[in-house]
Amino acid sequence: HVSGTRTDKSKYGGRYMVTALPGDGIGPELIGYVKEVFRYGGVPVDFEEVHLDSSRDDVDLLEQAITAVKRNGVAIKGNIETRHNDPNCKSRNVELRLRLGLFANIVHVTSQPGIETRHQDIDIVLIRQNTEGEYSSEEHTSIKGVVESLKVITKTRSDEIARYAFEWAKNNGRKKVTCVHKANIMKLSDGLFLSRCTEMAKEYPELEFDNIIIDNCSMQLVANPNQFDVLLLPNLYGNILTNLACGITGGPGIASGRNYGKDYAVFETGTRNTGKSIAGKNIANPIAMMNAGVDLLYHLGLTDHAQVIARAIDKTINVDKLHTPDLGGQATTTEVVQNIVKEVQKHA
Ligand code: ADP
Ligand code: MG
């Protein structure tokens, strides 16, 4: 990883301490299964759980969560539900990202041979600015019936994410970076983002660089996704296109998402769903969170453990084809997990 995120602080006596934020909906059960697989795999990771969820509006709990991530440096996270209709209730997911300075979100989607989808051989990395843009949380009613919402784009944050994306592309053998924007309409804000990305591209002549307007990019992604390699995105477009990219490669249950800042790293599912309506029914697809667990192990440098679990996941979905209902299958969550455990035990 190009991220300078420290992992030394999470290590005590050969074991690592990682913060777990189970969140709402399916988060707790999915993180529970990650722990189970780690246990069977003999993975030297212990978890410090903080139950930050929508059941308690506790400011202290948010502080506790932030302190725990700062102490351990690394976290795995379920989504925390945000009440839509309460303007005073800010998203604690957004708050966490801001407070921890997690400026980069990376979602890598790849076609899975065992999962039937319209397109094959998709391999796209979406690198998203994770802390500004439309997520400034600066909204107000100026006069009754008129709402203003600030989209904030800065040179500093645009340079930061552009640098991060080009470095990532270079260090991971990628060929092309595509900046996604709407600079033809948002001339100043997206214009700044595009111009900083274009400027940064000049420092990476070994990488091809181009740009595309968000609306066209959406259409191209569903029609001909194989033309894309690395997408470099501002915050809201990034949110939407990561979901689209997950959608064309198997849905919300497959890809993981990584959040990096200068000091901390937080691992979660790519689409960041709460999955409230499917919680507790033994039907949620556990793979996306399991992949987040694999990401976490790579991040900690526990490469052997990461590979064993990654192979077990691959065997389960692509060879044994144990699929939960979201993939059109009949398997339960626990059947999928048990199969992963069985594969992991062969190598533990
Ligand atoms: P949000 O958290 O944004 O409200 P939802 O929880 O409504 O999103 O998730 C969007 C859709 O994806 C829902 O239909 C949900 O059931 C489905 N979904 C999300 N995560 C999973 C998963 N791990 N396995 C199966 N379906 C999932
Ligand atoms: Mg929902």
Instruction: Report the nearest-CA residue for atom 11 of ligand 1.
Output: 275
Name which of 209, 208, 227, 218 is nearest 121 in CA terms.
227
The pair of structure tokens assigned to 49 is: 């759980």
Answer yes or no: is the C-beta of 230 below 6 A from any ligand 1 atom. Answer: no
At residue 1, the pLDDT reads 43
- Counting ligands in written order, the one closest to the CA of 25 is 1
Query: In this predicted structure, what is the pLDDT of residue 3?
Result: 47
Ligand 1 neighbourhood includes 255 CB (under 6 angstroms): no
> Which residue's CA lies nearest to atom 14 of ligand 1?
275
| Ligand 2 centroid to residue 275 C-alpha, Å | 6
pLDDT band at 246 (very low <50, low <70, confident <90, very high): very high
Q: How far is the CA of 56 from the centre of ligand 1 (A)?
A: 22
Structure tokens at 36: 């189970």
Percent of the chain with pLDDT strictly greater than 70 = 96
Cα of 334 from ligand 1 centre, angstroms: 18
Tell me the CA–centroid distance for residue 191 and ligand 1, in Å: 34
**pLDDT tens column, 171-229:** 999 999 999 999 999 999 999 999 999 999 999 999 999 999 999 999 999 999 999 99
- Report pLDDT digits (tens) over 58-97: 778 899 999 999 999 999 999 998 877 677 677 899 999 9
Instruction: Tell me which ligand sits closest to the C-alpha of residue 273.
Output: 1
**Mean pLDDT of all residues belonging to the chain:** 94
Q: Are 193 and 183 contacting, i.e. CB atoms less than 8 angstroms apart? A: yes
Q: Is the CB of 273 under 6 A from ligand 1?
A: yes
* 20-24, 33-37, 54-58, 117-121: the lowest-pLDDT one: 54-58
Q: What mean pLDDT do residues 228-248 have?
A: 98
For the segment 30-42, the average pLDDT, to the nearest whole number, is: 98
Name the band, by pLDDT with cuts 50, 70 and 90, for residue 7: low
Question: Does any ligand 1 atom lie closer than 6 A to the CB of residue 284?
Answer: yes
Mean pLDDT computed over 327-334: 98
- Describe the crossing of helices 214-223 and 235-247 by its angle, rounded to 10 degrees: 10
Phi and psi at residue 285, to the nearest 5°: -75, 120
| Arithmetic mean of pLDDT, 315-341 | 98
Mean pLDDT of 236-256: 98
Other beta carbons within 10 angstroms of residue 302's beta carbon come to 21
What is the predicted pLDDT for the residue at 2? 43
> Does any ligand 1 atom lie closer than 6 A to the CB of residue 243?
no
pLDDT at 4 over 60: no
Atom of ligand 1 nearest to the CA of 25: 6
Query: Ligand 2 centroid to 270 CA: how many Å?
Result: 15
pLDDT for residue 167 is more than 60: yes
DSSP 318: I
Q: Give the number of the ligand closest to the Cα of residue 289.
A: 1
Give the ipTM: 0.96
